[in-house]
A = this chain, B = another copy of it.
Amino acid sequence: MSGAKNNDPMALVEGVKAGNTRAIARMISLAEAAKPEHRTALAEIYRAAGRAHVIGLTGVPGSGKSTLVKALATAIRESGRTVGIVAIDPSSPFSGGAILGDRIRMTELTSDDGVFIRSMATRGAMGGLARASLEAVDVLDAAGFDVILIETVGVGQDEVDIVRAAHTVVVVSAPGLGDEIQAIKAGILEIADIHVVSKCDRKDANATISDIRGMLTLGIRMPKDHGQVHGAEVLEEEAPAGAGEWRTGVVATSAETGEGIGELLETLDAHARHLNDSGAMATRRRDIIEMRVIKTAEDILRRDFQSKRDTLAGLMDGVVARTMDPHAAAVILLATFNNNTDDNKD
């Protein structure tokens, strides 16, 4: 308990491990701030994490993700487990971050100690969103939450990468969305371990369910490029032949009627068992880590650039004058890291 009131980062770590709510909240803020002096504490958090089942939920705007997350979190609690939620919301410089409606819908859960909800503003992270969000997951994991839900809008490279850093990826679709939205949706369907069609109480939901089932049946058995960083060479079958391959299916849910929420939780638990029993978890953890280390390196690169702006001014002048091209300048920028291997320097 003392950890929560103490500003010493290592004391905060102890508070997090003890499950202290204020310590958890403060430690996530430290992850967002990304100050070098908090690196040691966050590394310790990382070492203490690794037990939770991390579930990523994504879907296009209007797919009803947030409502589903709330229903799912309630079901997880009813199964006797604790749940942490990291919600990555579109940012507004005017409203200060998250979507107000979602926040309000979430409040019913917040009086429960077995639930911790954190909204991450995309704006504040300035490109370090993936790194900060995954460190927030570490904090909740180290704090002992059994299940961690990461919710993102399924648009944008960072947002999709964050969700792919989960052990189990749920893609939420909904009936009745426009053409442009549908096209965006198509880009994320392939990352699903489990499909959810929300709002299944609507009449037009059956068409959406059929579409996704059809896609799955048509042998568009998605390449398991989860965690894939660059190009086809990383493609690996998730489960070795004979070890029991995961069959991606569709769960129809209605947050209004509660339909399908129990089935979704069962399917999520089945996927966790599949990962562990088939040995696929090891591959997935490795893929996730590779992506995460690259994302973190990118974040360091961007932050470091600021501290080197004066030194790099001449280089940038050359690119502006077109006597040098951006690629050549980028190679030189990367080479500046050879004198910069101090863990505390970024």
Interface residue A269 (Cβ < 8 Å from any Cβ of B)? no
The answer on a CB contact under 8 Å between B62 and A326 is: no
- Contact flags A29-40 to B (C-beta < 8 A → 1, else 0): 000000000010
Q: How far is the CA of A319 from the CA of B134 in the complex (A)?
A: 14
Do A62 and B187 have beta carbons less than 8 Å apart? no
Query: Does A46 contact B320, Cβ atoms closer than 8 Å?
Result: no
Interface hit among A84-92, A143-151, A251-259: A84-92
Query: Does A330 contact B230, Cβ atoms closer than 8 Å?
Result: no
- A 314-343 to B, binary, CB cutoff 8 A, 1 in contact else 0: 011001101101111111111101101111
**A residues 151-197 with Cβ under 8 Å of B?**
153, 155-159, 178-181, 183-184, 186-187, 189-190
Please classify how large the interface on chain A is, using the bins under 10, 10 to 19, 20 to 34, 35 or more. Answer: 35 or more
Closest to A300 in B: B330
A235 close to chain B: CB less than 8 A: no
Query: How many of these chains are in the complex?
Result: 2
CA distance A179 to B328 in the complex (A): 44
User: Are B90 and A184 neighbours in the complex by a CB distance under 8 Å?
Assistant: yes
Q: Does A316 lie within 8 Å of B290, measured CB to CB? A: yes
Q: Is A242 an interface residue (CB 8 A)?
A: no
How far is A338 from B331 in the complex, measured between Cα atoms in Å?
10
The answer for the CA separation of A93 and B138 in the assembled complex, in Å, is: 32
Question: Please, which residues of chain B bring their CB within 8 A of the CB of A338?
Answer: 335, 337-338
Contact of A325 among B43, B91, B286, B301 (CB under 8 A): B43
Per the 8 Å Cβ criterion, residues 215-241 of A in contact with B are 215, 220, 222, 229-231, 233-234
B157, A158: Cβ atoms closer than 8 Å: yes
Q: Least Cβ distance of A43 to chain B in Å?
A: 4
Let me know if B341 and A332 touch, CB within 8 A.
yes
Does A201 lie at the interface of the complex (its beta carbon under 8 Å from any beta carbon of B)? no
Shortest CB–CB separation between residue A145 and chain B, in angstroms?
17
Q: Which of A71-79, A122-130, A260-268 contacts B (4 or more CB under 8 A)?
A: A122-130
A346 pairs with B331, CB closer than 8 A? yes
Chain B CB within 8 A of A243 CB: no
Given contacts A126-B230, A187-B91, A298 and B296 within 8 Å (CB-CB): no
- Complexed CA–CA distance, A322 and B49 (Å): 8
Q: How far is the CA of A299 from the CA of B315 in the complex (A)?
A: 19
| Smallest CB-CB A-B distances: 3 pairs | A156-B156, A338-B338, A92-B186
Residues on A lying within 8 angstroms of B by beta carbon are: 39, 42-43, 46-47, 49-50, 60-62, 89-95, 99, 101, 122-123, 126-127, 129, 131, 134, 153, 155-159, 178-181, 183-184, 186-187, 189-190, 215, 220, 222, 229-231, 233-234, 282, 285-286, 289-290, 292-294, 296-303, 305-306, 309, 315-316, 319-320, 322-323, 325-335, 337-338, 340-343, 346
